[in-house]
Chains A and B, each alone.
Chain A
Amino acid sequence: MDTDQLIRTLAADNAHRAPRVGAMLTMALLVAAPLSILIFAMTLGVRADVTTAMHNPFFDMKFAVTLSLAIPAIIVSLHLSRPEALMRGWGWLLLLPVGLLAVAIGSETMMAPAMPMTMRLMGKNSRACLMAIPAMSLPLLAGALFGLRHGAPSRPALAGALAGLLSAGLAATLYATHCTDDSPLFVATWYTIATAVVTAIGAAVGSKVLRY
């Protein structure tokens, strides 16, 4: 087929309209979310003392941290789904949860905490945290990669890493309703390790499946 023939064929298909990447990502995440919620409901469930926990600012802070990871990661992943997009000027969005955690750790230290630092850091749920966040992330990660495949990222591994970050952020939001360790030190340690695992998986898979 010569190039003129190909051009004629492409022009004949001009009427075809594809949805935007944001619409595909939203749809894929909405399909994946019930699976993650099912895993959560069957294995963990919301903690029993959730109504009292809501009066603890460090409990609430966990959601501020996980959502300040998930939402900017969604925004940046959509930005990167355009071929000419650069990371420059967008990376700081991903530092929001880091800043929030630093503020939370600082304020907990100043508030004369009830438990010694090592106990707050180690908590009681570190194993559950390391298992549950990646497990609940996987359906969301698959959905995110499926949605982002609709885009045209110039750096597929980076886009895949963002899919990992956003799915870990959403899964961690669910997990935070179960976990009784509310210390920002615990969050900064174990949530971060779990998120790093999911991000690495996202980058590895993304480098294969997000090529266009």
Chain B
Amino acid sequence: MRGREDEWTGLMRSAIAGDDAAYHRLLKAVTPVLRAAARRGLARAGQPPDQAEDIVQEILLAVHLKRHTWDSEAPFAPWLFAIARNKLIDTLRRRGKRVFVNIDDFAETLPGEVPEETASAGEVAAQLNTLPQRQRDVLQSIAVDSASIKDTAAKFSMSEGAVRVALHRGLAALTAKLRDH
């Protein structure tokens, strides 16, 4: 457990230093842990587990947009689990459920019980359609068509800088819509 969390901290430090591949690996590594915890949290609240993937995606977006609040001298896992707890509580509250989130849902995950599949989630996809055209085009190009920033810029005759701006604004707008809807 300790080794895994130290590895996350190291990956996040590299990510902040500009290593995109380390960031990708980190997000891939934490996702199954978040998914298992979201399912446990939903089950505990008497909710069907089919919303777990929506919660996972909301957590990932929040991690991305708030990563400047992580202190790179501190371990990464407590920061991550605090965001995850917050998002799970938010989701349950939106459904008007009495909220009881056990801290252990996020603190302990045995590697054996981690579900591996990646389900698709409805909410991010639905909100994606409400974004301004340009942001939606850029997000879709990178997410769905797996295009690079450079290829996306060429496809829409934009500068790479403009693609980066649209990408970041799109992600921020998506997060705001998910939070407020």
Chain B residues lying within 8 Å of A150, measured Cβ to Cβ, are 68
Q: Do the beta carbons of B82 and A1 come within 8 Å of each other?
A: no
Q: Do the beta carbons of A3 and B56 come within 8 Å of each other?
A: yes
Chain A residues lying within 8 Å of B60, measured Cβ to Cβ, are 3, 6-7, 10
Q: Is B90 an interface residue (CB 8 A)?
A: yes
Partner pick for A7 among B31, B68, B120, B164, CB 8 A cutoff: B31
Expressed in whole angstroms, the minimum distance between the Cβ of B3 and any Cβ of chain A is: 20
Bound CA–CA A2/B90 (angstroms): 21
29 A/B residue pairs, CB under 8 Å, sorted by A = A1-B144, A2-B118, A2-B121, A3-B120, A3-B121, A6-B57, A6-B60, A6-B61, A7-B24, A8-B24, A9-B142, A9-B143, A10-B23, A10-B27, A10-B61, A11-B21, A12-B148, A13-B168, A14-B18, A14-B23, A15-B20, A21-B69, A83-B79, A84-B78, A151-B66, A154-B82, A154-B86, A212-B66, A212-B86
Bound CA–CA A99/B62 (angstroms): 39
Expressed in whole angstroms, the minimum distance between the Cβ of A80 and any Cβ of chain B is: 10
Interface members, chain A 188-207 (any B CB < 8 Å):
none
Expressed in whole angstroms, the minimum distance between the Cβ of A211 and any Cβ of chain B is: 6
For chain A, what secondary structure do more than half of its interface residues adopt (helix, strand, loop), or is it mixed? loop
Bound CA–CA A1/B128 (angstroms): 9
User: Which among A5, A17, A20, A150 has the greatest number of chain B C-beta atoms within 10 A?
Assistant: A5
Chain A residues lying within 8 Å of B65, measured Cβ to Cβ, are 18, 212
**Given A3-B53, A7-B28, A7-B60, A13 and B164 touching (CB < 8 A)?**
yes
Q: Do the beta carbons of A83 and B66 come within 8 Å of each other?
A: yes
Produce 1/0 per residue, A18-35, CB < 8 A to B: 111100000000000000
For chain B, what secondary structure do more than half of its interface residues adopt (helix, strand, loop), or is it mixed? helix
Bound CA–CA A152/B70 (angstroms): 10
Q: Is B71 an interface residue (CB 8 A)?
A: yes
Bound CA–CA A170/B105 (angstroms): 41
Chain B residues lying within 8 Å of A5, measured Cβ to Cβ, are 143-144, 146
Q: Is B99 an interface residue (CB 8 A)?
A: no
Expressed in whole angstroms, the minimum distance between the Cβ of B83 and any Cβ of chain A is: 5
Instruction: Return the chain A residue nearest B120 by Cβ.
Output: A2
Bound CA–CA A7/B171 (angstroms): 12
Bound CA–CA A12/B23 (angstroms): 9
Expressed in whole angstroms, the minimum distance between the Cβ of B8 and any Cβ of chain A is: 14
Instruction: Return the chain B residue nearest A151 by Cβ.
Output: B69
Partner pick for A1 among B15, B124, B148, CB 8 A cutoff: B124
Chain A residues lying within 8 Å of B148, measured Cβ to Cβ, are 12
Q: Do the beta carbons of A16 and B168 come within 8 Å of each other?
A: yes
Q: Do the beta carbons of B23 and A11 come within 8 Å of each other?
A: yes
Q: Do the beta carbons of B179 and A84 come within 8 Å of each other?
A: no
Q: Is A47 an interface residue (CB 8 A)?
A: no
Produce 1/0 per residue, B78-92, CB < 8 A to A: 110111011000100
Chain A residues lying within 8 Å of B179, measured Cβ to Cβ, are 211-212
Q: Do the beta carbons of B143 and A8 come within 8 Å of each other?
A: yes
Please name the 7 residue pairs, one residue from A and one from B, whose CB atoms are nearest each other, closest first: A84-B82, A83-B82, A11-B24, A2-B120, A152-B66, A5-B143, A18-B68
